[in-house]
């Protein structure tokens, strides 16, 4: 089988002028580090689930993405994190929403998945579970960055003057995710997010909803989405793509383009990465940019933030 790995760091990419060349270079370096972490597992014969967890953890630890350290603030100025992971071989999955103290929510989601039941834990119950399992716990302000504080201030001003609907994807959203195909042909997907800036306390998006923002099923595809989560939930995006492949015979590209086109009709920002059982990768988006990357079969790391894709060396 052809091993394959793809990631996204959210379609809420800032305009190029909003960050220095050095900051853009660091964001691309973090994307490359994420890919190398997942690829190292796959090349040693490791499973797709472990690979997507490793890739997402790197992005959760980076301040450049809206997940883990660098997550968006809710309306109260706190962080509520969502994450999920799914094994395409067994359809086992684990998810957490509204957690506040887990350093790497994707790892807690995997531990929950391996436990087998329940699949989804919310709020304080998720934090208690992770702490009991010995995962790294932090204070809520660990996730804060100055850029996210500015985003919150901007969104609150927009809310007051009635222009919240005109906010850019970079001001509002952001998510990280990974999809993989391992040497045995098994697929997996994982997604993690801080939600959108100034979201109501308790709001849950698509990232922890299996079948919406995260889905993996052997023989069909693995998908991780980014964008306006309420619409990803309504369209059951991940499952819809898998169903178009299974029941309509569409290719991975045809299925993802079809679903992304339906989302685009609502004038919302959306993007995703998806991988097929043959290792084929797609990374479509309808915004100005999407943090994204993949490793080709020759081991070359490809990363991008806007239109141009650069090769970042060997994995």
Mean pLDDT of the 248-265 span: 96
Mean pLDDT of the 80-94 span: 98
Residue 175 designated active-site = yes
pLDDT of residue 89: 98
Mean pLDDT of the 187-208 span: 96
CA distance 279 to 1: 8
pLDDT in tens, 150-179: 989 989 998 899 888 777 766 677 899 999
Residue 187 has pLDDT above 80, yes or no: yes
pLDDT of residue 36: 98
CA distance 65 to 197: 13
pLDDT of residue 19: 75
pLDDT of residue 121: 98
The answer on whether 308 is annotated among ligand-binding residues is no
pLDDT of residue 174: 84
Mean pLDDT of the 269-277 span: 95
Count other Cβ atoms within 10 Å, centred on residue 38: 31
Question: What Å distances lie between residue 188 and 128, 148, 193, CA to CA?
Answer: 26, 30, 18
Catalytic residue among 13, 175, 191, 287: 175
pLDDT of residue 22: 86
pLDDT of residue 222: 98
pLDDT in tens, 40-81: 999 999 999 999 999 999 999 999 999 999 999 999 999 999
pLDDT of residue 1: 67
Confidence of residue 240 (pLDDT cuts 50, 70, 90): very high
Mean pLDDT of the 116-126 span: 97
Domain boundaries, the chain: 4-314
Confidence of residue 4 (pLDDT cuts 50, 70, 90): very high
The answer on whether 205 is annotated among ligand-binding residues is yes
CA distance 300 to 309: 12
Residue 5 has pLDDT above 90, yes or no: yes
Residue 301 has pLDDT above 70, yes or no: yes
Residue 18 has pLDDT above 80, yes or no: no
Mean pLDDT of the 292-314 span: 91
pLDDT of residue 170: 66
Domain 4-314, second-level architecture: 4-Layer Sandwich (3.60)
Count other Cβ atoms within 10 Å, centred on residue 102: 26
The answer on whether 226 is annotated among ligand-binding residues is yes
The answer on whether 258 is annotated among ligand-binding residues is no
Question: What Å distances lie between residue 12 and 66, 137, 222, CA to CA?
Answer: 9, 27, 21
pLDDT in tens, 96-105: 999 999 999 9
The answer on whether 78 is annotated among ligand-binding residues is no
Q: Pairing relation of β-strands 176-181 and 187-193?
A: antiparallel
pTM (2 d.p.): 0.96
Residue 294 has pLDDT above 70, yes or no: yes
């Amino acid at each position: 089988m052809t091993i394959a790995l793809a990631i996204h760091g959210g379609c809420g990419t800032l305009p190029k002028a909003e960050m220095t060349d050095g900051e853009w270079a660091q964001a691309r370096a973090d994307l490359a580090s994420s890919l190398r972490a997942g690829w190292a597992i796959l090349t040693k014969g490791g499973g797709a689930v472990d690979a997507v967890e490793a890739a997402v953890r790197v992005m959760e630890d980076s301040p450049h993405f809206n997940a883990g350290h660098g997550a968006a603030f809710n309306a109260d100025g706190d962080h509520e994190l969502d994450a999920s992971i799914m094994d395409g071989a067994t359809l086992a999955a684990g998810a957490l929403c509204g957690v506040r103290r887990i350093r790497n929510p994707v790892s807690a989601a995997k531990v929950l998945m391996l436990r087998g039941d329940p699949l989804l834990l919310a709020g304080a119950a998720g934090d208690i579970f992770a702490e009991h399992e010995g995962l790294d716990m932090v204070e809520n302000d660990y996730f804060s960055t100055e850029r996210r504080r500015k985003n919150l201030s901007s969104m609150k001003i927009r809310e007051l003057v009635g222009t919240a609907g005109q906010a850019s994807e970079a001001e509002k959203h952001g998510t990280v995710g990974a999809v993989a195909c391992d040497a045995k042909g098994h697929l997996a997907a994982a997604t993690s997010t801080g939600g959108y800036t100034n979201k109501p306390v308790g709001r849950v998006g698509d990232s922890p909803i299996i079948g919406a923002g995260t889905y993996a099923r052997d023989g069909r595809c693995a998908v991780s989405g980014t964008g306006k989560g309420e619409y990803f939930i309504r369209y059951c995006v991940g499952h819809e793509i898998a169903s178009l492949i299974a029941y309509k015979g569409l290719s991975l590209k045809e299925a993802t383009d079809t679903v992304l086109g339906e989302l685009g009709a609502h004038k919302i920002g959306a993007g995703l990465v998806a991988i097929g059982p043959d290792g084929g990768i797609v990374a479509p988006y309808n915004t100005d940019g999407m943090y994204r990357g993949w490793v080709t079969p020759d081991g070359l790391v490809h990363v991008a933030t806007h239109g141009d894709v650069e090769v970042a060396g060997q994995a």
